[in-house]
Chains A and B, each alone.
Chain A
Amino acid sequence: MSSQAKAKKRYFKTIPQIPRIELFAPGHGLCAGCTAGTIVRHLLKAAGPNTILVEATGCVEVSTTLYPYTSWRIPWLHLAFENASAAASGVEAAIKVLKRKGVLDPNKPINIVVLGGDGGTYDIGFQSLSGMLERGHNVMYVLYDNEAYMNTGIQRSGGTPKYAWTTTTPAGKVWPGNLRNKKPIAEIVAAHRIPYVATANPAYPLDMLNKFKRGLEVEGPSFVHVLQPCPTGWRFDPRYGIKIARLATETGMWINWELDHGEFDVTVPVKRRKPVREYLKMQGRFKHLTDEQIREIQRMVDEEVERINKMVGREVIGPVEA
């Protein structure tokens, strides 16, 4: 892609440029300090009112649609946990054919967005997601990743990081917490060779908004993977959600990148990394970690940073500060 096209896709450069429209109504039942609300509010600002959102079962779904109330000022659909991508495929196909048949205005663009949690994406909804991507539906999938099944009470998912405490991976005499690494979901999605894949973080709202906008703009499927700190499940004071999100990027635990038509870039470079300990120590789910385990996580992050820097071809993420 030309550098011009690249320059064009920075739609929001300053905070005042963020649309003022509020399509996510207040009064929802998310926990105090839940960053999912922040993500959804910004998502709808980027998408605007001509958007249909299909949601997988999970925290956001149950907290925003308790009958007879709703937080959604756009048309919204929920069927089940594992099939949001399939339902959205049906919505997209319907909009397409109804436009063709003149039932709907063919000149009025309608965004179709899926919103799913990590359990609904990495695990149970993975098959329907893969099907939707492979078939090329013009849908943007947004994954809000709080790294566990939160709605059912903090059980481990395929997105839970190594050594994290969850209610099904408690740290005990035998288990050190979760035994496995996070599944590289965004890269697995990218292997479907869809036009646009990105990772984002609500502590960097402009970057996140630009990615939503770009995801909606491309022809065909797009995927935006957003880190979503969860005070209830990660065991931290509700006021620290965005601080922890920022630390995730500052430590290199979470890298904001995008893959736009095959071109890879890190959109939030980090000159000097903070040690992972600073991210881990703020969360109760990691409080049982030994120094050795923390060193192991640091080594894993160092390796990942090296791999990413190689992919970009220069040092976009620097070394750990002394």
Chain B
Amino acid sequence: MSIQKEIKWKRLPLSTNYAVAYAVKDLDVDVVAAYPITPQTTVVEKISEFIANGELDAEMIHVESEHSALSATVGASAAGARAFTATASQGLELMHEILHIASGLRMPVVMSVATRALSAPISIWNDYSDLMNARDASWVTLIVASAQEAYDTIVQAYKIAESPDVMLPVMVAYDGYIMSHTYEPVLVPEDPSIVLEFAPKNYNRLRLDPDRPMTFGTIANPDWYYEFKYQQVVAMKNAYRKAIEVDKEFGKVFGRSYGILETCCLDDADVVVLTYGGLYGTFLEAIRKMRENGVKVGAARLRLWRPFPAEDVVRELGGAKMLVVVDRAISYGAQISGPVAMEVMNAFYGDPDAPSIMSVVVGIGQRTVTSYTVREIVDYAFRVLERGRVPRETLYWGVRGVKYE
């Protein structure tokens, strides 16, 4: 397509939170309902500014809780509006009940999540415990790694959510603080109409309409409930194809696309490290340096978390001898407690050629992870490969009193 060349860009210094707000503005979102929580708050502050200045014509509902934020967002969506909310941590937990209702009612709402650790003890800092707790809520979930990608992915998210064969809510997540509050140059189209052209609104979907009265949110007995839920399974499958398709289409129009599984330096790599979110940048830096020194190591970033792209993981990463999955959340009491590690093991289950898979947890409550940490983990992985005994339990890297030799 030739449109790409015609787009005039503004290059703005934006935090990821602000990039999300700009996308919401350019998408002409109709209703925003949100409640403050660190580190999400500046998304909503920026959107409020846009509305206050007349740059965005939307209704802002200053709700009294996150539970109400998502409820109002779903209500607005049911009435036909394009609706948005944003949250983090305790807020996402408080929404939990309505997460399932939003997807069960097939409402195409979009929510950004500046991921943050969960209480107790209270921590305002980053990890992915909040997002991973929402894993089974039937939301399409994308995890982005830069402010630009956040802008682009919010745009993609509405197109995925509102497509008739998906009709599911979408979450776009990123590292709280590490990304939400750091500034990067972001390209934003000077004329946002291109964004709406790419992701046009569909007011003709089923909605609360006195001219076509319909009942939303019924009760279903055992003879029907299962069919509702199975339709969500199918919709999730469709969302997988849709996410790939929309990202490609986005690339054609805007000149940027990300795929659903980003990879680097996989050729002849013995060890591949898979992670997600902004931390990938640190991993890339470390792994590129190690490559220069002849270490056969590669990196991968999971961008689509739900639906989980199992086939892509197997196809792309199956050639390594060892796969190290680095999580920033803990499923307490599980033998392998990294949520993404579990999923990766599941993807390779029964595959006789599967690589060894090692689960590592880092960055809990934003415990610092540097390129030095990455090197340590990779070195350890190579030692394990030599010894031939892969740990059957998750490694808790960087916690006091625990050392892996």
Contact = CB atoms under 8 A, between A and B. Distances in A.
Interface of A: 49-52, 54-55, 61-62, 65-68, 70, 72-80, 82-83, 85-91, 93-98, 100-101, 103-104, 110, 127-128, 130-131, 134-135
Contacts of A135: 61-62
B83 interface: yes
A97 B58 contact: yes
Given A49-B210, A79-B75, A89-B72, 15 more contacts: A52-B210, A62-B219, A67-B221, A74-B213, A76-B208, A79-B71, A79-B98, A80-B71, A87-B72, A90-B77, A90-B79, A91-B76, A98-B81, A101-B57, A131-B63
Given A101-B30, A103-B80, A93 B64 contact: no
Given A52-B79, A78-B216, A95-B79, A66 B221 contact: yes
A104 B79 CA distance: 11
Contacts of B221: 66-67
A93 B61 CA distance: 8
A70 B216 CA distance: 10
B65 interface: yes
A205 to B, nearest CB: 24
B191 interface: no
16 contacts: A52-B208, A66-B220, A72-B215, A73-B213, A75-B210, A78-B218, A86-B67, A90-B71, A90-B72, A91-B79, A94-B31, A97-B59, A97-B81, A101-B57, A104-B80, A131-B68
A68 B228 CA distance: 12
A127 B72 CA distance: 13
Interface in B74-93: 74-81, 83
Given A65-B218, A67-B220, A97-B57, A77 B208 contact: yes
B73 interface: yes
B31 to A, nearest CB: 5
A86 B209 CA distance: 19
B313 interface: no
A134 B58 CA distance: 20
Contact of B83 (A51, A73, A75, A90): A90
Tell which of A51, A72, A94, A134 has the most Cβ of chain B within 10 Å: A94
Contact of A86 (B63, B81, B83, B214): B63
Contacts of B30: 94, 97-98, 101
Interface in B90-104: 97-98, 101
A269 B105 CA distance: 46
B64 A77 contact: no
Interface string B25-60: 000001101000000000000000000000001110
Tell which of B74, B78, B79 has the most Cβ of chain A within 10 Å: B79
B333 interface: no
A86 B220 CA distance: 23
Top 7 A-B residue pairs of the complex, sorted by shortest distance between their CB atoms: A90-B75, A90-B72, A78-B217, A86-B68, A131-B64, A94-B79, A87-B75
B349 interface: no
Nearest to A88: B75
B224 interface: yes
A96 B58 CA distance: 10
A80 B83 CA distance: 19
Tell which of A49, A66, A91, A101 has the most Cβ of chain B within 10 Å: A91
Given A94-B80, A101-B30, A86 B210 contact: no
Which range holds the interface residue count of chain B?
35 or more
Contacts of B224: 67-68
A75 B59 contact: no
Nearest to A50: B210
B76 A90 contact: yes
Contacts of A98: 30, 79-81, 203
A68 B216 CA distance: 11
A74 B31 CA distance: 23
Contacts of B77: 90, 94
Nearest to B220: A67
B217 A82 contact: no
Given A89-B61, A90-B74, A67 B210 contact: no
Contacts of A75: 208-210, 212-216
Interface in B206-239: 208-210, 212-221, 224
A88 to B, nearest CB: 6
A214 to B, nearest CB: 21
Contacts of B79: 52, 90-91, 94-95, 98
Contacts of B80: 94, 98, 103-104
Nearest to A65: B218
B159 to A, nearest CB: 19
B47 to A, nearest CB: 14
Given A93-B31, A94-B30, A95-B79, A70 B71 contact: no
Interface string B179-219: 00000000000000000000000010000111011111111
Contacts of A104: 80
A237 to B, nearest CB: 28
B213 A80 contact: no
B208 A67 contact: no
Contacts of A82: 67
A130 B33 CA distance: 16
Interface string B16-31: 0000000000000011
